[in-house]
Amino acid sequence: MAYRAVLIAGPTASGKSALAIEIARRFGGTVVNADSMQVYADLRIITARPTIEEEAMVPHRLYGHVDGAVNHSAMRYVADVSAILGELERNGSLPVLVGGTGLYFKALTEGLSEIPPVPEAVRSAFRAHAEARETAALHIELQGCDPAMAERLRPSDRMRIMRALEVFAATGRSLASFQGARKPGPLDGGALLRLFVSPERDLVRARIDRRFEQMMGEGALDEVAALRARGLDPLLPVMRAHGVPGLIAYLDGALSLDEAIARGQADTRAYAKRQVTWFRHQMAGWHAVAPEAALGLALRELENTA
């Protein structure tokens, strides 16, 4: 049975995008983004989106199609991918989904919990309440109303703590109560080639540091300055992209440029470590493969099932 789609995950700077382009080129495929930061139009450089030249090699979808003012979600991502999968199936194009956001892959293959949307009025009121409060204080607040979620979340994980508090404020229920029932994902039950590109840790760290310096040379600071000038809510996902907070701190005079670069590199290295941990605990059934062996494995699997 032929594979319905190819899924390529891995830590940042592992060579995933180049692999996806080559597979799509050889098998008449379309590269579909599965990275939560590369959806944003504001940040081509600092999120390491495919270049214009790379996008011209094969069709690319879901890159840079969301404005930074939008709080993009996994639910919206799944809806976008579902529409694209139908289109590609009709056109006979192999979907090659690539990115580093494990939740996106999990949502596509295992489904999402059907959590009611938080009304904008509730969201705005809660953010105004939370703006002057430290993350640890918000975690204590969560312990009082939703101890089940407080137990699951790190006291420093501001984004997820706020999400749990917003859901409780909107529904009166724990976020945990919604996470049992799942709507099947659009790739649930399909024949999928799942690759996790896994370089040596020291190689990834060196690539991250080198790539960040390269992005600075390509205009990352100007890109972040333009984003800063928009005056967006600092809690929006686009404002937390790796490298953005440090460079904004530099533009605000709080850090030197060298300190901002070092912070961006360190944040990205820490993220790469979390990506590997997610794979080990959340992504059963994937092929963990070294970068130099990934293309060969993919070609053997795809040619044998064609």
Domains, the chain: 5-113+182-304 (3.40.50.300), 120-178 (1.10.20.140)
Helix/strand/coil for 77: helix
Whether pLDDT at 119 is above 90: no
Whether pLDDT at 86 is above 80: yes
Which tens digits make up the pLDDT trace of 21-80? 999 999 999 999 999 999 999 999 999 999 999 999 999 999 999 999 999 989 899 999
CB within 8 Å of 244: residues ≥ 6 apart? 43, 46, 224, 227, 238
Helix (H) or strand (E) holding 112: strand 112-113
Distances (CA, A) of 78 to 72, 93, 107, 162, 217: 11, 19, 7, 22, 34
Residue 181 confidence (pLDDT): 63
pTM for this structure? 0.84
Written as one letter, the residue type at 237 is P
Which tens digits make up the pLDDT trace of 222-275? 999 999 999 999 989 999 999 999 999 999 999 999 999 999 999 999 999 999
Helix (H) or strand (E) holding 274: helix 257-282
Question: What is the rounded average pLDDT for all residues in the chain?
Answer: 93
